[in-house]
Structure 1
Amino acid sequence: MKKTFVLVTLFVLPIVAYLFFASGVTNFGKLPVLTESIGDVADMDKTISLKNKITILGFLGEDIKQKKGNAFNLNQKIYKRFFEFDDLQFVMIVPKGSEFKVAELKSELGHLVDIKKWYFIYADKPDIKRFFSGLKTDLALNDNLGTPYVFIIDKDMNLRGRTNDENGGNTFGFNTASVAELNNKMVDDVKIILAEYRMALKKNNAVREK
């Protein structure tokens, strides 16, 4: 009996646990679409596009110096962890005239990690307001056209997030002022969307090889 119990504990239970979690990833491993087809930033900067990219999208506003802490949190907790994944980019939209402030920020961020996947778009204020409105969230830009929240955009330019979150509603974005929120929520959601596309890629490759 003891030998049987030991064998079950060592071999059977791990397999059962693996199957349980594997099925969970298959059935629940997709991040919900909250807003479809938000549009492309290429309308503001032809050198950058959301199409066919997984994008972390942010709006730093004119008060970039006050947003440095937010940018560092995002850089350390999310970017540094995931930037080596293919097709992942970080896009920040800022008002025109912020170029010098952004250069300073990029220099400071670059001391910590290679920031080759940080992109900054300089846009007119009406265009920033229009684009943010297209996200159709329950959030708002401040008077400087910034927000501490960042958003996950998939390759089809859909806004991804959480439905029926612990707050009882939808979670459209993640507060970069909160390290806990980045660690406890955003890390998991970025993992989910990256896994979703990896699984789709493997499936497509398997079909091609048949």
Structure 2
Amino acid sequence: MKKFAVLFVLFILPIVAYLFFASGINSFGKLPTITKTVPDLENFRTATGEKVTLNDKITILAFAGTNMIKNQGNFFNFTEQIYDRNKTFKDFQVVVIAPNQSQNDAKELKSRLSQLTDISGWKMVFGSNDEILQYHKALRLKGKLDADLGTKFFYIIDKKRNLRGRNDEKDYKEGYNTFSPSDLHNEMTDDVKIILAEYRFALKRNNNKRQI
């Protein structure tokens, strides 16, 4: 019996451990696509009338609604846990969609956020209530906007405009709950790291090809 236990520790256990970690790499090494090629922001403009695009950017997409000042804690949580850690990445941006009538609140929110960090990577765009509802519908999400056209969930969009998340039956995640510091600190932090690692690897691979 003792001999069997020694053999198990020396030979069987390492194989089991290898299979476990190998399966983990396959499951979590690439973030699944929830919705392919979401629409660009054609119908939305900044307060100064400028266009914003999702193309060739890693975007965190938010729907602020008309109660963004009341819900500013969600934006502060996200800024501390996610944005501050990734804002130096060249192609990383935050896009906040809000109703036309909330432009003054959006300006106030940006002012408050700017006291905490550099928000040059933030873009706030505005549209009609109907345009916001139609755009959210086009994302083909299970979650809905609230009555104020906002949600506490933020979304990851890759450079090809694919909405990324987790599609496992036990851990389905199309968006990340900014009201929950643990959701941001654990799931969203890890998933943003995966997305950024994908593009760092692709950039390095392309640079190596050019050198060859």
TM-score normalised over the length of structure 2:
0.84
Q: Counterpart of 1:108 in 2: which secondary structure?
A: helix
Percent identity for Structure 1 against Structure 2: 43
Q: Does the CA contact (< 8 Å) of 1:29 and 1:196 recur in 2?
A: no
Identify the residue that residue 94 of structure 1 maps to in structure 2: 98
Aligned ranges for residues 5-154 of structure 1 at < 5 Å? 28-45=28-45, 47-154=51-158
Q: Counterpart of 2:95 in 1: which secondary structure?
A: strand
| Matched residue type, 1:181 | D
| Matched residue type, 1:204 | N
| Matched residue type, 2:38 | I
Instruction: Give 1:41 deviation, angstroms.
Output: 1.1
| Partner Cα separation in structure 2 for residue 136 and residue 30 of structure 1 | 21
Return 5+ residue gaps in structure 2 as ranges. Answer: 1-19
Identify the residue that residue 176 of structure 1 maps to in structure 2: 178
Q: Does the CA contact (< 8 Å) of 1:59 and 1:93 recur in 2?
A: yes
| Partner Cα separation in structure 2 for residue 48 and residue 155 of structure 1 | 14
| Partner Cα separation in structure 2 for residue 135 and residue 26 of structure 1 | 26
| Matched residue type, 1:163 | N
| Partner Cα separation in structure 1 for residue 51 and residue 120 of structure 2 | 14
The answer to whether the aligner puts 1:194 opposite 2:196 as a matched pair is yes
Q: Counterpart of 1:163 in 2: which secondary structure?
A: strand
Q: Does the CA contact (< 8 Å) of 2:44 and 2:51 recur in 1?
A: no
Identify the residue that residue 9 of structure 1 maps to in structure 2: none
Q: Counterpart of 1:66 in 2: which secondary structure?
A: coil
Distance 1:25 1:195, change over 3 A: farther
Return 5+ residue gaps in structure 1 as ranges. Answer: 1-19
| Partner Cα separation in structure 2 for residue 152 and residue 206 of structure 1 | 28
| Partner Cα separation in structure 1 for residue 177 and residue 209 of structure 2 | 40
* Displacement over 6 Å in runs of 4+: 20-24
User: Could you list the per-position Cα deviations for residues 173-204 of structure 1 after superposition, in whole angstroms to 9, with x for gaps in the alignment?
Assistant: 00000001000110000000000010011111
Q: Does the CA contact (< 8 Å) of 2:157 and 2:163 recur in 1?
A: yes
